[in-house]
Amino acid sequence: AAKAVGGNAIRFHTAQMDQRVSLRMSLETRLRKALQENQFELYFQPQVAAEDGRLVGAEALLRWHDGDSMIPPDQFIPVAEECGLIVPIGEWVIARAVGQIAEWRNRHALVPPIAINLSPRQFWRPSVSHCILDALNFAGLPTSVLEVEITESVVLDPEGDSIEQLGRLREAGIGIALDDFGTGYSSLSYLQRLPVGVLKIDRSFIKSLVVDEGAAGSEPLVRAIIAMAHSLSLKVVAEGVETPEQLQALRYLGCDIIQGYLFSRPLAPGEFAEKYLVDRKNP
Ligand code: C2E
Ligand code: MG
Ligand code: MG
Ligand code: MG
């Protein structure tokens, strides 16, 4: 009987693995096609000053239109990272972001720094720092127009020379933000090793910032993160701010910048420009 059960278990496991592998393969094939057929788009989510709500930046977020459906990044970025497609996809993101900034600067007076997300895998060859600096140089744009967002996991990736590349970007004048802070490994030593100027508190901490009396909220943690960041001269962005109560608490705690649905969802480029960028011709 034991043998039969074992046999079944193995067969079951194999079938499940087969399914997972083939699902991944089809996604990989579709991602490759998406890149060729221009199915990607960048959306832009405003970042505003906590004190007065003025626009201080925006995060570029990748969107994939697959026919009529929109596949969220959380479903395809991990696959793209695993199979290496994140490198050409990431190059597309850099080119699109720089192209969009150039286009906006031609038409509008003020375009705030735009932040793009980078995966650890992008710090392998070819060098993502060169790709970014070349793109800006080619477009004739100053480095101040762009920022990059990384997670602590770049430090853990043994393949790339991420710290050197980040140093090069920072030296060239590109702002670096540490994304999803407080999740993952969050070793404080990374803050010393990475040349970051901005710390983004993960959405999960903002979600539990304001809770009913008696419940354990994240307020003490958020307070400590902000104090630590400020003592290191880092600016603090709160991610995923959805309610006026959260905004009020963050203001009280001295958080610098707010990003979240309370102000705006990520917007298509046209809508972002229309709502947030001031025109040179009719201000
Ligand atoms: P992230 O970099 O932490 O981006 C913030 C995510 O939070 C975005 O999800 C954004 O839409 C979402 N968000 C913003 N405000 C709120 C809010 O108030 N409530 C809630 N519930 N969510 C909010 P999105 O666009 O689905 O992206 C998910 C993740 O995919 C990103 O997390 C980032 O890690 C990755 N990603 C997106 N675009 C790129 C890209 O171009 N390259 C790379 N490597 N990764 C990307
Ligand atoms: Mg991000
Ligand atoms: Mg984040
Ligand atoms: Mg994330």
* Ligand 1 pocket test target in 59, 71, 77 with most atoms within 8 Å of CB: 77
Tokens of 67: 């026919």
Alpha-carbon distance of 133 to 164, in angstroms, equals: 14
Interface predicted TM-score (ipTM) over 0.95: yes
Question: What is the per-residue burial (b if ≥16 Cβ within 10 Å, else e) of 18-45?
Answer: eeeeeeeeebbebbeebbeeebbebbbb
Which residues lie at CB < 5 A from ion ligand 2?
117, 149, 179
Residue nearest to atom 8 of ligand 1 (CA): 61
Whether 2 shows a pLDDT value over 50: the answer reads: no
62 lines ligand 1 (CB under 6 A): yes
Alpha-carbon distance of 152 to 34, in angstroms, equals: 29
* Phi, psi dihedral angles at 45 (to 5 degrees): -110, 125
261 lines ligand 1 (CB under 6 A): yes
* Ligand 1 pocket test target in 45, 81, 117, 208 with most atoms within 8 Å of CB: 117
Find the largest Cα–Cα distance for the chain.
81
Task: For residue 200, give the ligand 1 atom closest to its CA.
Answer: 3
CA of 167 from ligand 3 middle (Å) equals 21
C-alpha neighbours within 13 Å on the C-beta side of residue 116: 27
Whether 43 shows a pLDDT value over 80: the answer reads: yes
The winner for highest mean pLDDT among 67-81, 174-188, 189-203, 234-248 is 234-248
Write out pLDDT tens, residues 120-142.
999 998 899 999 999 999 999 99
CA of 251 from ligand 2 middle (Å) equals 21
Alpha-carbon distance of 16 to 14, in angstroms, equals: 5
Write out pLDDT tens, residues 144-167.
999 999 999 988 887 889 999 999
Torsion-angle region of residue 84: left (phi > 0), alpha (psi -120 to 50) or beta?
left
- In this predicted structure, what is the pLDDT of residue 157? 82
The helix or strand, by DSSP H or E, that contains position 147, with its residue range, turns out to be strand 146-150
Write out pLDDT tens, residues 168-194.
999 999 999 999 998 877 677 888 888
* Ligand 1 pocket test target in 42, 44, 61, 121 with most atoms within 8 Å of CB: 61
- In this predicted structure, what is the pLDDT of residue 283? 54
46 lines ligand 1 (CB under 6 A): no
